[in-house]
């Protein structure tokens, strides 16, 4: 399975998980190779989306994997 697949609007599956506040899913996607530097179709970073959703553990993992806001 491609963990970096994007929907028809251009949003990666990681971003979709973050937007739905599926913390466990987001962490599993990262473990399986999802791009921590993903951005949504508006260029909003995965870190920014996770931070705004209050997912501090995910934010820390994204940063450990090289993501920036």
Phi-psi region of 17 (alpha: psi -120 to 50; beta: other; left: phi over 0): alpha
Domains (range + CATH), the chain: 13-64 (1.25.40)
39: β partners: 45
pLDDT band, very low/low/confident/very high, at 7 (cuts 50, 70, 90): very high
Please state whether the predicted TM-score (pTM) of the whole model is above 0.85. yes
Answer whether residue 69 shows pLDDT above 90.
no
pLDDT digits (tens, 9 = 90+) for 45-64: 999 999 999 999 999 999 99
């Amino acid at each position: 399975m491609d963990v970096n697949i994007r929907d028809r609007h251009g949003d990666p599956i990681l971003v979709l998980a973050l937007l739905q506040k599926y913390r466990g899913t987001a962490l599993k996607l990262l473990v399986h190779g999802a791009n921590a530097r993903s951005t949504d179709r508006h260029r909003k970073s995965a870190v920014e989306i996770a931070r705004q959703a209050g997912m501090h553990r995910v934010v820390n993992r994204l940063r450990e994997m090289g993501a920036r806001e």
